[in-house]
């Protein structure tokens, strides 16, 4: 796949991620008798904010999406049977914070070209297998 294909996929995913959040089913909550006829709604898991797609399973792979507080999305493609994806994701975020965000030559919103990040990420993942 070319870089253009990846850009198309990234754009598609971005849109789909937003839609998956808006189609969250909402459950009507009984309004107190004092209030007027407006019905209020609750999410199925109250207390947790509605997020977009978090992980996607296909026959051949599993895609985990982690969104940072600032909106950067990390997409991790793994084997469907891989466990402890949260741990991997957390470590990737940590490495990203350490070697990309703390790199004085990295410009925000630009493609990540940081050798130290590549090296540490590769080294850590190899150490796990």
Query: Rule CB under 8 A: which residues touch other proteins?
Result: 1, 5, 9, 12-13, 15-16, 19-31, 33, 39, 41, 43-45, 48-61, 77
C-beta of 19 vs 87, nearer to other proteins: 19
Compute the half-sphere exposure of residue 122: CA atoms within 13 Å on the CB side of its CA. 6
Token pair listed for 80: 């469907």
Q: How far is the CB of 123 from other proteins (least distance, A)?
A: 26
Q: How far is the CB of 22 from other proteins (least distance, A)?
A: 7
Of 19, 114, 110, 119, give the one whose Cα is nearest residue 72: 110
Q: How far is the CB of 72 from other proteins (least distance, A)?
A: 18
C-beta of 11 vs 123, nearer to other proteins: 11
C-beta of 1 vs 108, nearer to other proteins: 1
The span from the CA of 26 to the CA of 28, in Å, is: 6
Residue 76 backbone dihedrals phi, psi, to 5 degrees: -115, 120
């Amino acid at each position: 796949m070319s870089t253009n294909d990846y850009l198309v996929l990234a754009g598609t995913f971005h849109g789909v991620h937003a839609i998956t959040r808006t189609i969250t089913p909402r459950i009507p909550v009984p309004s107190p008798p004092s209030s007027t006829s407006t019905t209020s709604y609750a999410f199925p898991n109250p207390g947790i904010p509605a997020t977009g797609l978090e992980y996607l399973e296909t026959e051949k792979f599993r895609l985990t999406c982690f969104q940072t507080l600032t909106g950067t999305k990390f997409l991790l493609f793994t084997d469907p049977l891989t466990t402890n994806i949260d741990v991997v994701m957390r470590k990737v975020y940590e490495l990203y914070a350490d070697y990309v965000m703390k790199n004085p030559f990295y410009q925000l919103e630009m493609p990540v070209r940081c050798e130290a990040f590549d090296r540490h990420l590769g080294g850590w993942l190899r150490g796990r297998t």
